[in-house]
Amino acid sequence: MFAFGDQLGPAKVIHVYEPGLGLKGILVVDNVARGPSIGGLRMAPDVSAQECFRLARAMTLKNSAAGLAHGGGKSVLFGDPRMPVGNKQKLIRAFAHALRNEHDYIFGPDMGTDETCMAWVKDEIGRAVGLPADLGGIPLDEVGATGWGVYHAGIAALPHCGLRMEGARVAIQGFGAVGQHAARFFVQNGALLVATSDSRGTLVDPAGIDVAALMAEKAAGRSVCEHARGDKRAVDAIIDVECDIWIPAARPDVVREDNAHRLKTRLVLEGANIPFSVGAERMLHERGVCVVPDFIANAGGVICAAMEYRGATQAAAFDVIAERVTSNTAQTLAQAKAEGIVPRDAALRLAAQRVQHAMSTRRFSIF
Ligand code: NAD
């Protein structure tokens, strides 16, 4: 009990149990000094209170770093997300109903849940983001909200690395929702996509890859390795490609102390969540490579969700993503430079300061 408590939270940990349905779930509301918490509902057989707390804390810092008037929370449901849809609906509706009075928490999608699940939650209690378009949702993967933010992190970071957009060579690990749209925005604005990869291999073409054609091929179910032009290499070969901007947009833990030396780039924009180990970021910093950390560079998705909650249009959400990610990247890199610290430490400090400032204005600090 209270094992997770520190200066920032968590404000509440709620266990929800209904043996009649086999329902076991946990909600952690970490800190709501900045406003009601937003965080995803994760469904998996092996979730835990510890995992839920760590994810809720990550959301406190991510929402604060993004400058949102929202705190951090997270919820988990024990179960196989591929169970029959009727059973899944019953569990999710019951879980949401049990939490109907927890107005400090707004549900969002996460691993094992999607926009349909959020529609059930919205129907049950009226509070959810990541909704289907028919219910006022902004389909953030389709429109490329996170890729749009990654692109703006790039615009803000390029001058710090003595680079220009025109002709900048971009390599993207993972040509999925985040990677494809990031590629599209960079190439539309004068950069070259010189390499990209998916779970089957790497495509390299120093002359520049045709992003629209490759997106159409992916939509038709083909791998980047089946593209007509360019060299085809192993999955891992994306790490060795010489470029100016390297964007991880696939899996966690892809660059670590043992392989960070292989990167040949000046700038890294972390599109994926925790793609680099802390040690790898430190090694790259010492080599003069600028690494914009995940919760600054990939905040486009969460900003889009917060805008959706306010009933904003996609265009308005994109304007806010551009403004916030640009200014947060610039502030993070300026602070890191002034103090000679890695950008992640500067960003964490910025996020914690914003939470603490909000806490100082409240009667009770964290809730
Ligand atoms: P996605 O499933 O649409 O795309 C992932 C891509 O990575 C796929 O093309 C897949 O083939 C490829 N891939 C898988 N394993 C790979 C490997 N070992 N090497 C190279 N490529 C590999 O997922 P996404 O929504 O684009 O998310 C990508 C990452 O970004 C995840 O870490 C996710 O948590 C993070 N993220 C996503 C969003 C969002 O808005 N979608 C927001 C913030 C962070």
Q: How confident is the model at residue 143 (pLDDT cuts 50, 70, 90)?
A: very high
pLDDT band at 365 (very low <50, low <70, confident <90, very high): confident
> What is the C-alpha separation between 9 and 30, in angstroms, rounded?
5
In the predicted model, is pLDDT for residue 1 greater than 80? Answer: no
Within its chain, how far is the Cα of 102 from the centroid?
24
Q: pLDDT digit string (tens) for 166-175? A: 999 999 999 9
Whose CA is closest to atom 14 on ligand 1? Answer: 199
319 token code pair: 């304007």
143 torsion bin: left (phi>0), alpha (psi -120 to 50), beta (else): alpha
Cβ–Cβ < 8 Å for 308, 119: no
Hey, what are 274's tokens? 């925790």
Q: Is the dihedral of CA 256, 343, 177, 163 positive or negative?
A: negative
Q: What average pLDDT score do residues 191-201 get? A: 98
What integer pLDDT is reported at residue 270 of this predicted model? 98
Distance (Å) from CA 248 to ligand 1 centroid: 8
**Would you say the CB of residue 200 lies under 6 angstroms from ligand 1?**
no
pLDDT digits (tens, 9 = 90+) for 300-329: 999 999 999 999 999 999 999 999 999 999
The ligand 1 atom at the shortest distance from the C-alpha of residue 302 is: 42
Ligand 1: centre distance to CA 250 (Å): 3
Average pLDDT, the chain: 96
- How many other CB atoms are there within 10 angstroms of residue 268's CB atom? 26
Kindly state the tokens that stand for 21: 């349905």
For residue 72, what are the β-bridge partners? 31, 38
Model confidence at 2, pLDDT cuts 50, 70, 90, reads confident
Mean pLDDT calculated for residue range 190-216: 98
pLDDT tens for each residue of 118-132: 999 999 999 999 999
Residue 174 Cα to ligand 1 middle (Å): 6
Question: Does the beta carbon of 250 sit less than 6 angstroms from any atom of ligand 1?
Answer: yes
What is the CA(252)–ligand 1 centre distance, in A?
9
Q: Give the residue numbers marked as catalytic.
A: 74
SS (H, E, C) the chain: CCCCCCCCCCCEEEEEEECCCCEEEEEEEEECCCCCEEEEEEEECCCCHHHHHHHHHHHHHHHHHCCCCCCEEEEEEECCCCCCHHHHHHHHHHHHHHCCCCCCEEEEECCCCCHHHHHHHHHHHCCECCCCHHHCCCCHHHHCHHHHHHHHHHHHHHHHHCCCCCCCEEEEECCCHHHHHHHHHHHHCCCEEEEEEECCEEEECCCCCCHHHHHHHHHCCCCHHHCCCCEEECHHHHHHCECCEEEECCCCCCECCCCHHHCECCEEECCCCCCECHHHHHHHHHCCCEEECHHHHCCHHHHHHHHHHCCCCHHHHHHHHHHHHHHHHHHHHHHHHHHCCCHHHHHHHHHHHHHHHHHHCCCCCCC
The pLDDT value given to residue 212: 98
- Which among 61, 81, 75, 85 has a CA at the least distance from the CA of 13? 75
Residue type, 198: D
pLDDT number for residue 366:
82
Judge if the beta carbon of residue 148 lies within 6 A of ligand 1. Answer: no
Query: Which of 66, 73, 76 has the alpha carbon at shortest distance from 105?
Result: 73
Pocket flag, ligand 1, residue 247 (CB < 6 Å): no
Ligand 1 contacts CB of residue 146 (under 6 A): yes
Atom of ligand 1 nearest to the CA of 301: 40
Residue with CA nearest ligand 1 atom 42: 301
pLDDT in tens, 219-258: 999 999 999 999 999 999 999 999 999 999 999 899 999 9
C-alpha 179 to ligand 1 mean position (Å): 7
Average pLDDT over residues 56-70: 94
pLDDT of 198 over the 90 cut: yes
Pocket of ligand 1, candidates 232, 251, 259: which has the most ligand atoms within 8 Å of its Cβ, to mutate? 251
CB-ligand 1 contact for 202 (6 Å cutoff): no
- Cα distance between residue 59 and residue 53, in whole Å: 10
